[in-house]
Structure 1
């Protein structure tokens, strides 16, 4: 059965792109935070694997080519940031303060959760990089002795939730400044949050792109420090 369904090296890529395409169509039809294309794609792929009986390892082997695009896609986020360089210079103090505060809040929350739920050291360090982009987060978790695969799943879940909750939270707390929106999304929800920031506006997208880079560097240092606190 698996050979019939995934009989080519790129069939997993096709399934992934088709699922995301369906998610995008749903988002266009129902403009709701719950209609997140990535969330819908994840659900559709899981359903496909369950119903078809295809093992995850078989699917992943044919879909792994998509992961090669993660690094260049992350690097390409520097383009909108470069285009807003003047805005960055004018607000550098507020931007850096916001990013550092967000990174510290994330690490402190993971430490508190680890203490409350009595997580093991491996589980704890796996969760520490939850708010940075997948490329960086998986390496951090692996380097600290955590589970990189679980870290990837946690990072994606964090991004999807941040993407979905962005607009409601901005409305509730009256966050209107584009720089503040972008920094908040990039720091807390990495690349998936940046996709939402780009929907909000060019400035939001540029600031979110910057936040991904700076938050990633800060988390590399911060996670190393916090890993020794448990």
Structure 2
């Protein structure tokens, strides 16, 4: 009986869309950062699968279809980039330097903390691309010898964390420049964080979207080099 209801692509797609819709409704009602729609949706989906003892292979039949659209959806971030094209040209040096420093910091901090906590090497390598967008992060994980499934989880947690805590961290460190806000959010928490940057303003959203692309490209090239130097 379980196979009839759950062992099909429709189940994964349906439960994902419904869970996210409920997550958005809950967030819009209470307006609490911790009630991020993606986080709420994740809790709902995991709870249902646990209660009804549904294998992940059943969910993945639909989840993989939704996952296919991650890369095309990322391209939509070109819209705020186009709107702020002149600003991007004007501040390209700051953007490139900020993206480079941010990418290096993200990688080195993961490796340093992982070694300090004695995390298994393959797991640690899977965490290295945690701050870049999923399609690129998966390929970097494969390149480094990590486990893509763990990388996806790390990217998801990083994005949700950035989305929730970005406003607080900006206030804490008194960061008011729109370009700095966008770059910081995009480099540290990719597309999920960028959705928060877009809420802050067009400049923040454009800078965050641009930093996702730049940080992803930089990480592809520098991650293997950093590993050779300090691994």
Aligning the two structures, in what range does the TM-score lie when normalised by the shorter sequence?
over 0.9
8 Å Cα contact 2:123/2:150 also seen in 1: no
User: Structure 1 stretches (4+) deviating beyond 4 angstroms?
Assistant: none
Deviations 1:123-176 (A, max 9, x none): 221111010001111111112111000000001000000000011111111111
Distance 2:105 2:78 in 1: 25
Residue 205 of structure 1 aligns to a residue whose secondary structure is helix
8 Å Cα contact 2:9/2:59 also seen in 1: no
- Where structure 1 has 5 or more consecutive residues not aligned to the other structure, the ranges are none
Deviations 1:30-72 (A, max 9, x none): 1111010000011110001001111111111222110110110
Counterparts of residues 43-192 of structure 1 (less than 5 Å): 43-192=43-192
Distance 1:119 1:35 in 2: 30
Paired residue for 1:203? 203
Alignment RMSD (CA, Å): 1.2
Equivalenced residues, count:
230
- Where structure 2 has 5 or more consecutive residues not aligned to the other structure, the ranges are none
Deviation (angstroms), 1:9: 2.3
Deviation (angstroms), 1:226: 2.3
Normalized against structure 1, the TM-score is what?
0.96
Residue 87 of structure 1 aligns to a residue whose secondary structure is helix
Residue 34 of structure 1 aligns to a residue whose secondary structure is helix
8 Å Cα contact 1:178/1:204 also seen in 2: yes
Deviations 1:67-124 (A, max 9, x none): 1101101122112112211001111122222111111111110121122122333222
Paired residue for 1:25? 25
